[in-house]
Amino acid sequence: MTERDIEFKVFRYKQGGAAPAHQTFTVRCDENTTVLVALQDIRRDQDGTLILRHSCHHASCGTCGMRINGREELACVVKVFELGTPTVVVEPMRNMPVISDLVVDMEPFYDRFNAAGMPFIRESEYLEEAEVAEGLETYMRCENCIECNLCVSACPIMGTDPTYIGPAALAATWRVVEEPRGLDSRPLLDWVDSQNGCWRCHVAYECNEACPSGVLPGDKIMSLRRELTKRKFRRLFGR
């Protein structure tokens, strides 16, 4: 197995501390080393104060999202050698407040889902007999979106407008509109038919490129627009 020393230039920031800066670490890697494993090695062997977030190690949980060499990726599935660069630059996701090092505050992300008043689990999917696990208020709907925030980080409009609803919440809204299963989707359509809603998107489609689970948020935003355009025409002609 080939081994090589790889340099990692890691974004460092502590609240109340010095201004953000990059710190360089050298890690011995082989062809199976992922960026997440390398970062864990740094934390274990070189600097225990390095803060990162992770859980499943197989692209299911969406918690290890970060920018690797300037692109939004899940660190657990990016192999260091496949990047092909002698130095790997690792930074926290953009467009969410950074808490510490590679960890961002995800509250504005989840707030967008909640603000929609969108049911995370639809009535038709809810099993009366299902007991909600300890520590959870309710079950959340399981869809392709793993709520990793990579699309939000990649979106150039999120980098401009702090109140833009953003690709993830808009894509989730489309899921309900597309398949309402008895729900009234009109309030949701009203919500996204706004300056900060789906009309704020400027068709850069970087969300589609960043999404690790095939949600294609950009396509969903355009589907919402098509639906709203139809609705506006229907209203125009009094139907």
Partner 1 sequence: MDNIQPTTDPVRPKAPLRSWFDVRGRSLSTLAFALNRLTAIGLTIYLFLHLAVLSLLLRGPEGWDQFVALAKNPAFLLLDVVLLFGVVYHMANGIRVALVGMGVAHTRQKSLFYVLVGIALVAFVVGAVLIFVE
Residues in touch with partner 1 (CB under 8 A): 13, 20, 69-71, 94-98, 107-108, 111-112, 115-117, 152, 156-160, 162-166, 191, 196, 201-206, 208-209, 218-219, 222-227, 229
Give the whole-angstrom CA distance, residue 16 versus residue 68. Answer: 25
CB 116, min distance to partner 1, A: 7
126 versus 233: smaller Cβ distance to partner 1? 233
CB 45, min distance to partner 1, A: 27
CB 62, min distance to partner 1, A: 18
41 versus 209: smaller Cβ distance to partner 1? 209
47 versus 156: smaller Cβ distance to partner 1? 156
76 versus 211: smaller Cβ distance to partner 1? 211
Q: Helix, strand, coil % (nearest 5) of the chain? A: 35, 15, 50
Helical H runs in the chain? 35-41, 80-83, 107-115, 150-154, 167-178, 186-192, 206-210, 217-236
Among all chains, which residue has been given the structure tokens 């660069």?
Answer: 85
CB 6 within 8 A of CB 88: yes
**Helix (H, G, I), strand (E, B), or coil: what is residue 198?**
helix
CB 28, min distance to partner 1, A: 26
CB 3, min distance to partner 1, A: 27
162 versus 214: smaller Cβ distance to partner 1? 162
User: Which residue in 153, 191, 156 sits closest to 174, CA to CA?
Assistant: 191
CB 128 within 8 A of CB 134: no
